Amino acid sequence: WSDVCFISGKFDQFQQMEPLSTIHAAFTEYTNNILRKGPENIHQTREAIIKAINTDIGVLTEVFPCLCQIIGKPLSAPTKLGPIEAKHRFKFIFQTFVRVVATPSYPII
């Protein structure tokens, strides 16, 4: 399983004020795995993410700043929304992101 990305995040009861800290840790690990795979893989990953998420990339990098190492800094800040709309937008964008990066040829476990 050389082309499998194993990521993990540990729940810390003392970081309850940071609800996504476990997922943040896991995707920091994912970012590091992509960076270790080299420039060609970084480019392919960047292109796939940008193609799928496009102008909403800032929503993702706001929560996971480590992704800027792969996709670069977003050109604009995400549009401010109310809390419910922002939650739904983040959920949709995060699901799209995971579908793009977790592929049959490079599954994330």
Domain boundaries of the chain, sorted by first residue: 19-101
CA distance 4 to 64: 21
* Rounded-to-integer distance, Cα 51 and Cα 3, Å: 22
Left (φ > 0), alpha (ψ -120 to 50) or beta: where does 91 sit? Answer: alpha
Render pLDDT for 56-100 as a digit per residue (tens, 0 to 9). Answer: 999 999 989 999 999 999 888 788 899 999 999 999 999 999 999
pLDDT, tens digit, for every residue of 32-55? 999 999 999 999 999 999 999 988
φ, ψ (nearest 5 deg) of residue 106: -145, 70
pTM of the predicted structure, to 2 decimals: 0.84
Distance CA 50, CA 38 (A): 18
To 10 degrees, the CA torsion angle through 54, 38, 34, 79?
-20
